[in-house]
Amino acid sequence: MLVATLIIAGVLVVSAWPAAATAPPPTPYGGNASCQRRCGDLEVPYPFGIGRGCYHYTGEGDITFELTCRRTAGGGYQAFSGESIEVIDINVRLGQARVRNDIQAWCYNRTSRSMVGDTSRLGPDLSDSQFRVSDEGSRFVVVGCNSLAYVGSVNTGTVYMTGCMATCPDAGTLVNGSCAGMGCCQTAIPRGINTYSVEFDDRFNTSAVMGFSPCTYAVLMEAAAFDFRITYVTTGDFMASTGGKVPVLLDWVVGRETCREATRNATAYMCVSDDSKCVDSRNGGGYLCNCSAGYQGNPYIPAGCQDINECEEDPNKYPCSVPGTCTNTPGSFICSCPDKTTGNAYNGTCEANKSQLGVRIAVGVSAGLVVLVVTMSCAYMIRQKRSLAAVKQRYFKQHGGLLLFEEMKSKQGLSFTLFTEEELEEATGGFHERNVLGKGGSGTVYKGSLRDGRAVAIKKCKLVSERQEKEFGKEMLILSQVNHRNVVRLHGCCLEVEVPILVYEFVPNGTLYHLIHGHRSHGGERVSFATRLKIAHEAAEALAYLHSWASPPIIHGDVKSPNILIDESYAAKVSDFGASTLAPTDEAQFVTFVQGTYGYLDPEYMQTSKLTSKSDVYSFGVVLLELLTCRKAMDLQALDDEEINLSAQFLRAMGENRLDEILDEQIKGEQSMELIEQVAELAKQCLEMASEKRPSMREVAEELDRVRKLSQHPWGSQEETCDDELKALLVGSPGTGTSSEIELSISTNAYVSMTDSAYLGIRSPR
């Protein structure tokens, strides 16, 4: 079970701010001479305030902008919201407040031999408030050497959860300033977060690394305020140096309406200063106010926006090119040449008036200068073009393009194309947003149309590792020769860019995940057992082919139902080789950072970081469970005494002879239990904790073929009618699961955003 450690976010405890039922009507800040404008080092601008009548009160009974100023133990003063939230800074222009937030610690206790830490600390529900956690300035941070934590938020109509995993085999692998999965992980959060919780996964503990890393930490904090240090892991300095609290950013608005709606109500409209403007919030709705261009100050008070004197604003940067020519104007400035001079005081010179001949000479010189500038510009553009070509050539060589090109020339009949960046931009309409099929941590996939009319899926990656850069061309050559009807075809790639772009066969009919779960979520019928067996057998054949076709074999690395596509003939096609690799001859020496999708990850791989072909076998076992149960790999709606992992639910049911309880009701009614139990037993073998006890993918494919033939025996459906009635077996409209719905959960920083509660991808760079 997960050990729930719900953070009381500094940002969120703002709900403790009192909203007295008898609060006075709004009073413009500064209208009351008794209002306190400063608390210690903090300037308190309206709409915030200290004391009655000094802050903006919405009149709705929810959060107000009231602060209290208290004397600290050190003799200074500090502003607080409510009873315990320390306010560090308030930015009126950005509509943000910085507050301190508690770090959650989870440590191994030698005496109890268990992990201990704060549990069941609920944060307030701010779903009706005017405050949101800043998605741009805040990050979820996890620090430790064997830690998996989640941050979840429950908003109206939305359930969001993301995971972040930090691992490290020893302290020597840690690097100061690097938070990319090794000892430290950080991930972004979405917009509109108004309440959240943090949970540590208790299957990850620090008992094995307690000698140098007994604790793990998780917190939502300001991204700019975090700089990872090795001592955060090895000495617990993360808590000691911060006092257990770090800053986090909160976005606020003064009204919940849009600007269009707010301006219609002059009485309640908050942008009261002349030369102010209304700005719609980008985080959760509502509006705030800014001073217009050329003005600065507080737009929430009368005459709060004051003209900026550009002529004196920055003594180090005079706005005009000629000294002494600047004249300030409301909201702007003018650069004008002095009397008896002409010229351009903005970006040129001012000269004394000359005779007509002098003017002509000046015109001639100017024309010459124009010609010179045009010539120099053309030369510069040619140089830039050559420079761009040199950069493209460097990238091409860096990614192994020369080696790949030579190999392609030596192999007759190889259908693989080296595309140019211009070709792929043309195919995708300049990588236009309308052509996006899916986005993930490793990149974005676009639908494209090549010049020969072929529809393709074009994956624009975000980054690759140093090892992948050196081996990219070689790996592309091998993957290009993969020729199996149940493997998505790689047409080619583009290597003249910083990160290679991959061009795949376009598969239009969606994923196995949507075929199994999509119909169910929309109330439709489910897929027949015969069809499930067919898809499972074809996917197993594809993986067995990958494991044995090349030397070294190809390990997929991220087998899951969202990565098994269904084509127009309803054949299975294994896809998404973003986590794939060419395994060395000695697999025991192949150690990587953990990469895959949580719920499908091989537990032995997570512990040892050694990726083998048996890791794919384990993940395929989870896919078999999805086909048998119609349940998702991760059940986030599980009760407190239930496992959220489908594999754990299944193994417990098998151990207690309760298989019948977990099976999908439909297949129990249409197929003999003996055949279903044989598939369940095969799944159990795939899910063995020790990889050496698992069958190979070839053995799995052969067993599925045997069971499939038994199911087509005369007492079942006839083999010769299976293909003819394939479309009838697959119920529902083919269009209900399109390729645009493919969820890309790859991430290079040990995290993935979850928009569907089916599964949680956990990523870490290789």
CA dihedral 279, 283, 285, 286 (to 10 degrees): -40
Tell how far CA 371 is from the center of its chain: 50
Q: Mean pLDDT of residues grouped by 10 in the chain (766 residues)?
A: 37 34 41 79 92 77 73 88 85 92 88 74 60 88 88 63 82 86 87 81 81 88 92 90 92 91 90 93 90 93 92 85 90 89 88 63 76 73 58 65 59 69 90 81 80 87 58 64 84 81 84 78 64 93 84 80 84 75 52 70 84 92 94 69 79 91 86 89 94 94 91 50 34 32 28 29 30
pLDDT of amino acid 466: 54
- Are 94 and 207 spatial neighbours (Cβ–Cβ below 8 Å)? no
Q: Is 223 helix (H, G, I), strand (E, B) or coil?
A: helix
pLDDT of amino acid 387: 53
CA-based Rg of the chain, rounded to a whole angstrom? 32
pLDDT of amino acid 401: 58
- Return d(Cα 200, Cα 186) in angstroms, integer: 15
The values of phi and psi at residue 189, to 5°, are -120, 160
pLDDT of amino acid 390: 59
The values of phi and psi at residue 133, to 5°, are -70, 135
Q: Which two tokens stand for residue 102?
A: 């508690």
- Return d(Cα 421, Cα 391) in angstroms, integer: 13
The answer to whether 460 is a known ligand-binding residue is: yes
pTM for the structure as a whole:
0.50
pLDDT of amino acid 193: 80
pLDDT of amino acid 90: 94
- Other beta carbons within 10 angstroms of residue 395's beta carbon come to 19
Angle in degrees, CA 166, 169, 170, rounded to 5: 105
- Residue with token string 């830039």: 384
Helices vs strands, H then E, count in the chain: 20, 39
| The pairing of beta strand 554-555 with beta strand 196-201 | unpaired
pLDDT of amino acid 6: 36
Active-site residue list: 558
Q: Which two tokens stand for residue 99?
A: 């507050």
- Return d(Cα 547, Cα 554) in angstroms, integer: 5
Q: At what angle do helices 401-410 and 356-398 cross, to 10 degrees?
A: 60
pLDDT of amino acid 499: 79
